Amino acid sequence: MQAKAVKEAFAAERTYLLVASKAKKPDNQPPELMTELHRHTSNVDEIREANRPSPLFTHLSAVSEGIVALGWIVEKRPGDFVTDTLGGAQYYGNKILKEYKDKDKSHVEYIQAYYKIFRSLAAYVKEHFPTGLTWNNKDGVDAVAALKQIQAGASASKAPAAAGGPPPPPPPPPLPKFDDDGPPPPPMPPSGGAAQGGDMTAVFEQLNQGSGITAGLKKVDKSQMTHKNPSLRSNSSVPQRSNSGSSAGRGKSPLPNKKPDSMRSKKPSRKELDGTKWIVENFENTQSEVIEIPAELNHSILISKCNKCVLKVNGKANAISIDNCNGLSILVDSLVSSLDVIKATKFAVQVDGVVPTLLLDQVDGAQIYLSSESLATEIFTSKCSALNVVLPPKDDSDEDSKEVPLPEQMRTVVKNGGLVSEIVEHAG
């Protein structure tokens, strides 16, 4: 089911690219241009969420994270966007590689093939649309009219021609297919002239040549080297780099986006007990109202995509897992095992009882308030920044709570043939 949704999402993006080749760029994006693409990409994610108990949930998650890359069509630096989005898929995909590398090679081949799709997409986009999708602004038609024309042409090409009637219009020109090695289509040329298409297969073949890729380069002798001849530098025709804001930020890649705003949909909020598992997801901007979860000893709690919310877990639960939340604050009584937090920003947790373990992965900005009962809590961090632990005052003292930052900087040296790492401490 998910594979079919992925295929339909690529087909919907193909239609969007065809519209861009025939239409002028609209001042305001008509919603109907993105309807099909948004529907199919959302379907990919919904299939993942509906199959959390599945043993292949990690596979479904990798696919769901990767499909977000199709949002490059609304980005100003689409190649970087695709590359950054692939990192989200690799977070889950690399777990698959690790788990199945010695068990079942078909799983390894599956995820590597999925990686290849988006690496090819990134190369294609960087070559043909380095600064964003181009439109036919010279002699293009209205975008909605172009969409209807393309949809009508697709319908006519599928339906049998009526006897005696005119032949159906020709099918639209080919656009990229990422499940074969065919050449991608050319972008719209700025001058309206013909443009040559690229071939991803040729790109990969060149990269695979290794050191042989430089065989065709011209050898430069010493008389042509500027560092050997100062006179050449004074006569150089190479223009000076502009100090404009655009060039100053040229080397910076945008932060990885979860999904472009134009492709996001508001999903219904959900707080539901499924057997012994609480599922809390899709709550937005509910700081004025505390979301309370009545927990029991055998309950696990899954919290996903809750932004700018306050949650309170009443009672002792087994474990809590938090994924993809922004601005979430949570109050916890006690847990049997651990509190796991993955991909969160501006996160805060207050522990009133005992939580044996906190596991933080890809957390940017967190306040961890520990009670006097939870001072034995173990905190494990990975790829985290700006984390602070607030320690309670000592008993029978007038001291205030103490905020202590968790270390981020490490120093590594080679000793006795091995690596020794230690925390960098700053005096002052």
pLDDT of residue 157: 60
Domain stops at, among 107, 134, 150: 150
Neighbours of 93 (CB within 10 A): 25
Asked if the structure places residue 206 within a domain, the reply is no
Round to whole Å and give the CA distance between 58 and 32.
32
pLDDT of residue 220: 66
Q: Are residues 277 and 413 in the same domain?
A: yes
Return the sign of the alpha-carbon dihedral for residues 243, 248, 251, 253.
Answer: negative
**CB-based burial, 56-86: b 16+ in 10 Å, e otherwise:** eebbbbbbbbbbbbbbbbbbebbbbbbbbbb
pLDDT of residue 181: 47
Asked if the structure places residue 227 within a domain, the reply is no
pLDDT tens digits for range 399-426 = 788 899 998 888 899 999 899 988 887 6
Using DSSP's 3-state secondary structure scheme, residue 423 falls into: strand
pLDDT of residue 196: 44
pLDDT tens digits for range 342-354 = 999 999 999 999 9
Exposed / middle / buried, residue 360 (Cβ in 10 Å: 0-12, 13-18, 19+) = buried
Mean pLDDT (the chain) is 80
Domain enclosing residue 299, as ranges: 268-423
Round to whole Å and give the CA distance between 125 and 69.
11
Q: Are residues 135 and 273 in the same domain?
A: no
Any idea what the CATH number is for the domain that residue 402 is in? 2.160.20.70
Neighbours of 3 (CB within 10 A): 10
**What is the token pair recorded at 11?**
């087909």
Asked if the structure places residue 86 within a domain, the reply is yes
Asked if the structure places residue 132 within a domain, the reply is yes
Contact 313, 320 (CB under 8 A): yes
Round to whole Å and give the CA distance between 77 and 86.
15
Phi/psi at 95 (5° precision): -65, -40
Is 336 a residue whose pLDDT tops 70? Answer: yes
152: CB partners within 8 A, 6+ apart: 169
Is 214 a residue whose pLDDT tops 90? Answer: no
Q: Are residues 128 and 272 in the same domain?
A: no
Continuous H helices in 267-307: none
Band (321; pLDDT cuts 50, 70, 90): very high
pLDDT of residue 256: 45
Pairing of strands 277-281, 270-274: antiparallel
Q: Are residues 281 and 417 in the same domain?
A: yes
Name which of 263, 266, 268 is nearest 279 in CA terms: 268
- Among 154-158, 162-166, 229-233, 380-384, the minimum mean pLDDT is found in 162-166
pLDDT of residue 342: 93
pLDDT of residue 285: 86
pLDDT of residue 176: 47
Q: Are residues 146 and 289 in the same domain?
A: no
Asked if the structure places residue 167 within a domain, the reply is no
Q: How far is CA 123 from the centre of its chain?
A: 17
pLDDT tens digits for range 220-264 = 666 666 666 666 655 555 545 444 444 444 444 444 445 555 555
Is 175 a residue whose pLDDT tops 70? Answer: no
Asked if the structure places residue 247 within a domain, the reply is no
- Among 2-6, 122-126, 198-202, 214-218, the minimum mean pLDDT is found in 198-202
Q: How far is CA 414 from the centre of its chain?
A: 35
Exposed / middle / buried, residue 306 (Cβ in 10 Å: 0-12, 13-18, 19+) = buried
pLDDT of residue 249: 43
Q: Which residue has the tokens 């074969």?
A: 180
Contact 280, 304 (CB under 8 A): yes
Domain stops at, among 108, 127, 150: 150
pLDDT of residue 334: 93
**CB-based burial, 110-132: b 16+ in 10 Å, e otherwise:** bbeebbebbbbbbbbbeebbeee
Band (11; pLDDT cuts 50, 70, 90): very high
Mean pLDDT over 266-286 rounds to: 88
**What is the token pair recorded at 218?**
């011209």
Q: What percent of the chain has pLDDT over 70?
A: 73
**What is the token pair recorded at 206?**
């060149």
268: CB partners within 8 A, 6+ apart: 282
Domain stops at, among 98, 132, 150: 150
Asked if the structure places residue 198 within a domain, the reply is no
> How many domains would you assign to the chain?
2
Q: Are residues 13 and 139 in the same domain?
A: yes
Any idea what the CATH number is for the domain that residue 96 is in? 1.25.40.330
pLDDT of residue 116: 92
pLDDT tens digits for range 304-319 = 999 999 999 999 999 9
Phi/psi at 14 (5° precision): -60, -45
